Amino acid sequence: MSFALAFVSLFSAIAGLGLDGIVVRDLVCDPSGKDEILGTAFILKLLSGGFTFLTVLAAIRMLRPADSLTFWLVGIIAGGMIFNAFETIDFWFQSQVQSKYSVVAKSSAFLMISAVKVSLILTKAPLIAFAGAGFAEIVIGSLGMVVTYRSVGVISVAGGAACPSRKDCSRTVGR
């Protein structure tokens, strides 16, 4: 399992595209463009997550063609990269200095899956079940982010500590 996690981690930077800081900065500088900024970031992260998922599967198949367990472990773990597109919701909360909502959503998923993992240990479940539990944590956390955003995502903090200077906003991509 450690090998599979490490292998997927090698490719995870590709899936993120380094958008985090850029998107948050753009949201702070131009809150009226929220839908366009978040939508573009979501699509980019979704496409890069899918591409990275396929790349990881191809790479592990080439490196370990006869090891089906490793292939499945890597595939299940790498599947979570596709759901990382939902982290764009967290960018909105960061730009509004409201990260507590993201933390609650992700922590709830973590606590639920931790209970599942304890039961998996007690029942001596196979390794693949633990990989599935990790994937489920990402999916549940993503769903929690969507529900949270739909219920409180319209909150807007005017001004605030997260607002950069005008000089920082002038470097926004596309301006």
Question: DSSP letters of 79-100?
Answer: HHHHHGGGGHHHHHHHHTT-TH
Average pLDDT over residues 148-158: 66
CB crowding 23-34: b at 16 or more within 10 Å, else e? bbbbbbbbbeeb
Nearest-5° Cα angle at 92, 8 to 166: 115
Q: Sign of the CA dihedral 91, 95, 101, 107?
A: positive
List the single range of 15-19, 31-35, 62-66, 144-148 with lowest mean pLDDT: 15-19
* Closest CA relative to residue 60, chosen from 22, 6, 102, 112: 6
pLDDT at 34: 85
pTM, whole model, 2 decimals?
Answer: 0.78
Nearest-5° Cα angle at 77, 74 to 83: 135
Confidence of residue 32 (pLDDT cuts 50, 70, 90): confident
Q: 3-state DSSP call for residue 52?
A: helix
* Cα–Cα distance for residue pair 162/18, rounded to 1 Å: 19
Digit-coded pLDDT (tens) for 100-148: 888 999 999 999 999 999 999 999 999 999 999 999 999 999 999 899 8
pLDDT at 150: 86
Confidence of residue 14 (pLDDT cuts 50, 70, 90): confident
For the chain, what is the total number of helices (H) and then of strands (E)?
A: 8, 0
Q: What is the DSSP letter of 159?
A: S
Confidence of residue 154 (pLDDT cuts 50, 70, 90): low
Average pLDDT over residues 63-75: 92
Average pLDDT over residues 35-43: 90
State in Å, rounded, how far the first CA of the chain is from the last one.
45
Residues 23, 34: contact at Cβ < 8 Å? no
pLDDT at 109: 94
Decide if pLDDT at 35 tops 80: yes
List the single range of 60-74, 104-118, 146-160 with lowest mean pLDDT: 146-160
Decide if pLDDT at 164 tops 70: no
